[in-house]
Amino acid sequence: MVAEQVGTRADSLDEPVWDLRPDGSTVRHDAGVLPANERRVLDAALTLAATLGDHPEHSVAAAAMDTTGRIHTGVNVFHFTGGPCAELVVLGAAAAAGAGPLATVVAVGDGGRGVLAPCGRCRQVLLDLHPDCLVIVPTGSGPDLMPVRDLLPGAFRHPDAAPERFVRFASRYFDAVAAGRKTATVRHRDPVEVGPALLVFEDDDGYRRLHGVVDSVRPCRLDEITDEDARREGASSADALRAGLRGHYPGIAADAPVDVVRFHLV
């Protein structure tokens, strides 16, 4: 088991709190206030967009952060025969740099237009190639984060895409996971698949990573979580674990569907 780290470790980092929308999608409770890593991604795109000038062929800049904390950038290429959006250009730039899975993506328009939502094609490509990434999107409260899967509900999934997967954790869980004291995580509307996966811990100044394997994903209701599930999570009891989940997902119902995800390190 090898831990990978970019930057220095933050003392603590609270998990984001997600609100549930009526359509079942999720949005960060503190909309408009981006975490530090995502703010750096947005700043990179804004800086690049400001250099584009009046060139009609290049009017949108994009930036993406991979799970090592590196930021990759690119601009769109417009042509009357068709051309790639900035998001697709940055995916290629990241791949050329050996980036692996991307954690966050954003596009910004020139001329001070700010954050732009990805088009339908870009949403499909991101979902197929980087299904665990977050997309910075414009909202009435300012730029905010949304999981790419929520930007394209009910989407077709490319059967041969085989993207590298990762599972996000708050920084404070790193020591427990690395020591083997935490071998499970309970997720609500946060799909995890069985198989190899990076376990990514979000510090304020980058990410730390552990290589793992997701052994099983057991769907159940929140009120069906067991004491054994809690023990694997590092909680004292099923009730204590449910209380923690209610803090993470305000308004979650007792019969809400959750996934109990078990994993081990490699």
What pLDDT is recorded for position 85?
97
Of the residues 4, 15, 57, 87, only one is catalytic, namely: 87
What pLDDT is recorded for position 116?
97
Residue 16: pLDDT above 90?
A: no
CA–CA distance, 40 with 77 (Å, rounded to integer):
24
What pLDDT is recorded for position 8?
29
Residue 15: pLDDT above 50?
A: no
Q: Name the phi and psi angles at 185, rounded to 5.
A: -150, 140
Annotation says 38 is catalytic:
no
pTM: 0.84
What pLDDT is recorded for position 7?
35
191-228 confidence digits (pLDDT tens): 999 999 999 999 888 899 999 999 999 999 999 999 99
Query: Which comes out higher in pLDDT, residue 120 or 21?
Result: 120
| Residue 140 CB partners (closer than 8 Å, separation 6+) | none
